[in-house]
Amino acid sequence: MTATIKANLPVFVVIAPLFVAFVLPTFARRIRLVESLVIAVGVLGLLGTGYLASLILIEKGIPIIYSMGGWSAPWGIELRVDSLGAFFLLVVAGVSLPVALFGVDNLTHEVGGSAQTTRFYVLYLLLSGALAGMAVTSDLFNVFVLVEVATLSCCGLVSARNHPRAAEAAFNYLILATLGSALILGGIGFLYIITGHLNMGLASQELGRVWRDYPHVVWMAASFLLVGFGVKAALFPLHVWLPDAHSTAPSPASAILSGLGVKGYMICFTKVLYNVFGTTLMREFAMHRILVLLGMIAIIAGSILALAQDELKRRLAFSTVAQVGYVFLGLGFANASGLTGTLFHMASHAVIKSGLFLAVGAIITTTGKHRISEMAGIGKKMPITMAVFTIGSLGLAGIPLFSGFIGKWYLLSGSLEAGGSLAAVVIIAGSVLCAAYLFPMIRIAYFEPAPVEDWQDPGVPQRIALVLLAAGVVILGVLPGPFLELAKGAALELLGSM
């Protein structure tokens, strides 16, 4: 029995959330049961992904390949748990569990009654399943399907909030994201036309043979995929949907959208870029330069736009735009340190940004204040929430001993290896700007006189969720060992498939 479960873990981590999601609507009345099912799936997912990651670590990165229905690569769909897959699975499971825990007993005021809460969890599990699928799939068409599942659940999650602005934001997001999906499908179509394969490894081999005959098709495919995934992952200047969507969604939804949602598309883009095009083609078509340029612009522009916001959630949302820039920047370096940095930064940003969004959500729910200038005294009234917010801010700014530091350190050495001193300056400037837009909130919250109000930290599940995420930030910063090893393994894997 256990042997069967172990052998089929790669598929279980993907289908378990999906199938539980489909059953949830039948228990809509019994909200306790719904919540416990969601938490149970989260815990089992974390155990399963932890086991897979430890296997990969022990086997020194030898991938676990799972063929759906027993049909191997050219005919069937292949799931591939390699270092990259295990790393991202761990991020997905590790972040989605605390975020789900935060929603327990806490969603009704944001989304409405128990039917709406169930609907929220259905979309939440669909998104988690799709993200887990993105981590392990190595089939181009599967990538598109999972991207669609994730996009539609994200739109649903944004519109789940009981507020007219949420519906508007979700609609804008839907339009732009559908455009992105169409472009991704187009890009995959171009690749399929010239290679005849949907499996990434086989498509890559074939592309290596034929790209000289079809340089324009390769260009088209690359640009379609870049713009498509760029819209989805909110790469500046394609980020326009993100601030509205992420700031109007219910807090757990903002957390998972900013923390994991955009990361899933980045992982897909990373896979397509490195596992299909490979570094040779990237250099041949100067894709890496474009990525570095776009990344730098995104870091600076996102940070400056974040500085200009006074609304808490909008500032965090623009900060996501800046952090997305780091990821694309690292993808453009195309060397081991840069990729390690990018992957580690993805993980640390996932943990940090969900923690920040949840903390801010707790603040907004308790105090009803959503502007930074009104945060006075929250540090004294809500110590746990504000401590988590502070840890997250320190992490995001890249202070040593917090998780953001390690990712940025590797990105910095990656930029120097790639000979981009301007990129190095931008990385440091981004950190400084990040401190500039996050630290004033901490100052106002702790050092301005507190109003006489009866504010308190949120309930027990919410506190546990916040503390778990803050602990994640510190653990990733102090003892990054296995995570860093997985990230390094993934970077080497991505570079090896040229």
Partner 1 sequence: MRDFVLKRVAALLLPFIQMYGLYVIFHGHVSPGGSFAGGIVVGLAFIAFATIYGLERGRAKVPEKATTLVESYGTLWYGLMGMIGIFKGAPFLANKLAGIDLGELGALSSGGLISLIGLGVGIRVASTMVALFFTMMEDES
Residue ranges binding partner 1 (CB under 8 A): 4, 8, 11, 15, 19, 22-26, 28, 66-70
Residues sharing a CB contact under 8 Å with residue 215, sequence separation 6 or more, in sequence order: 285
- What does the alpha-carbon distance between residue 14 and residue 133 come to, in Å, rounded to a whole number? 5
In 3D, which of 200, 245, 194, 246 has the Cα closest to residue 221?
194
Q: Cβ of residue 18: shortest distance to partner 1, in angstroms?
A: 8
- Rounded to the nearest 10 degrees, the angle between the axes of helix 403-417 and helix 383-397 is 10
Report phi then psi at 66, rounded to 5: -120, 120
Q: Which is nearer to partner 1, 11 or 387 (CB)?
A: 11
Least distance in Å: CB of 182 to partner 1? 20
To partner 1, the closest distance from the beta carbon of 20 in angstroms equals: 9
Nearer to partner 1, 77 or 426 (CB): 77
**β pairing state of 64-67 and 78-81:** antiparallel
Report the alpha-carbon distance of residue 132 to residue 90 in Å, rounded: 9
Instruction: Output the CA–CA distances (angstroms, integers) from residue 43 to 16, 227, 275, in the order listed.
Output: 12, 35, 31
Q: Which two tokens stand for residue 277?
A: 């095009």
Q: Measured from the CB of residue 87, what is the shortest distance to partner 1 in angstroms?
A: 23
**In the complex, what is the shortest distance from the CB of residue 11 to partner 1, in angstroms, rounded to a whole number?**
4
Helix axes 403-417, 336-367, angle to 10 degrees: 150
Cβ proximity to partner 1, 77 vs 266, nearer residue? 77
**Dist. CA 390–CA 367, nearest whole Å:** 18
Least distance to partner 1, CB of residue 153, Å = 15
* Nearer Cβ to partner 1 (37/375): 37
Of 95, 89, 101, which is closest to residue 38 (Cα–Cα)?
101
Cβ contacts of residue 55 below 8 Å, gap of 6+? Answer: 64, 86
CB of 89 or CB of 257, closer to partner 1:
89
Mark 439-453 as b/e (b = at least 16 C-beta within 10 Å).
eebbebbbebeeeee
Nearer to partner 1, 36 or 280 (CB): 36
**Cα 309 from Cα 289, distance rounded (Å):** 31
Between residues 9 and 441, which has the closer beta carbon with respect to partner 1?
9
Of 11 and 297, the one with the shorter C-beta distance to partner 1 is 11
Q: Is residue 422 within a helix (H) or strand (E), and if so which, with residue range?
A: helix 421-447
Q: Determine the angle formed by the axes of helices 140-159 and 164-195, rounding to 10 degrees.
A: 180
Nearer residue to partner 1 within complex by CB, 66 or 224 = 66
- The smaller minimum CB distance to partner 1, of residues 71 and 447, is found at 71
Single-letter amino acid code for the residue at 168: E
Supply 171's token pair: 């609609």
* Minimum separation from the CB atom of position 6 to partner 1 (A): 12
How many Cα atoms within 13 Å fall on the side-chain side of residue 369? 16
Q: How far apart (Å, rounded) are the C-alpha atoms in residues 474 and 234?
A: 27
| Minimum separation from the CB atom of position 70 to partner 1 (A) | 4
Q: Which is nearer to partner 1, 24 or 249 (CB)?
A: 24
Least distance from partner 1 to the Cβ atom of residue 55, Å = 17
Tell me how far, at minimum, the Cβ of 8 lies from partner 1, in Å.
5
CB of 66 to partner 1, least distance (A): 7
- Phi-psi map region of 66: left, alpha, beta (phi>0 left; psi -120 to 50 alpha): beta
Give helix 403-417 / helix 312-333 axis angle, nearest 10°.
40
The least distance separating partner 1 from the CB of residue 162, rounded to whole angstroms, comes to 17
> In the complex with partner 1, which residue's Cβ is closer, 28 or 378?
28
- Please state, as a whole number, how many other Cβ atoms lie within 10 Å of the Cβ of residue 319: 27
